[in-house]
Amino acid sequence: MIEQDYRNEIRFCGSGGQGIIMAAIILAEAAGVYDGKYVCQTQSYGPEARGGTCKADVVISNQEIDYPKASRPTLLLAMNQASCDKYFLDLKPTGLLIVDTTFVKKVPTGRVAALPFTRIARQTIGNELTSNMVALGAFGHLCKTVTMQSIEDALMARVPKGTEDLNLKALRAGMDAAKQLDLCTLPQLVREDDE
């Protein structure tokens, strides 16, 4: 069977200091280095960096990538209300929105998976700074764009030395939280060529 061409556009967004860019880099390395897919990762953030809005796009494909940014993401992960409000309209109508309900209180209607990533990081891991890895674990479980083993391998290679176990625990906590969602109510992600 011949695999159809696909292009998955993913956007992670939140505040500077939430680890959005690190999560996107780990996802990109998991897809490219460990899963052998074509991948491109770009990022942008406000001049104030910490506390300002930031976004990181990851494009994953089985063909060479001609445009490196996500113009109509099939998946949007929003870690705060400002970024959810700013980027939600870019999401494809068939896409999936994943939000951190610790900070996103006004959740748009539609295809949404809502989990309290930051609260999970505080209560389960004891470190709010791991909320990005909690979110990445939930993303990996829900979307299956990249294998969880590849995400774990990329995480172990990328995070600062001495924090590997803490970050891996956070990743798995996010995965476990996503398993508790009612999967019957969540959409399957639609590839670009399915439209």
Name all domains of the chain by residue range, CATH numbers in brackets. Answer: 7-180 (3.40.920.10)
Answer whether 6's CB lies under 8 Å from 191's CB: yes
| pLDDT above 80 (res 187) | no
> How far apart are the C-alpha atoms of 195 and 193, rounded to whole Å?
6
The SS3 assignment for 166 reads: helix
| pLDDT above 60 (res 173) | yes
Among candidate residues 103, 86, 79, the one with its CA nearest the CA of residue 21: 79
Eight-class DSSP state of 146: S
| pLDDT above 90 (res 47) | no
For strand 38-45 and strand 7-15, is the pairing parallel, antiparallel, or unpaired? unpaired
Average pLDDT over residues 18-39: 96
Q: Model confidence at 19, in pLDDT bands (50, 70, 90)?
A: very high
Q: What is the pLDDT, as a whole number, of residue 29?
A: 98
Tokens for 30? 């998991």
Tokens for 38? 């074509």
Q: Model confidence at 182, in pLDDT bands (50, 70, 90)?
A: low
Q: What is the pLDDT, as a whole number, of residue 136?
A: 97
| pLDDT above 70 (res 33) | yes
pTM of the model: 0.88
Q: What is the pLDDT, as a whole number, of residue 81?
A: 95
> How far apart are the C-alpha atoms of 68 and 44, rounded to whole Å?
13
Q: In what order do the strands lie in the sheet with 7-15?
A: 38-45, 53-61, 7-15, 75-78, 96-100, 112-115
Q: What is the pLDDT, as a whole number, of residue 188?
A: 44
Q: What is the pLDDT of the chain when averaged over all its residues? A: 88
Q: What is the pLDDT, as a whole number, of residue 102?
A: 96
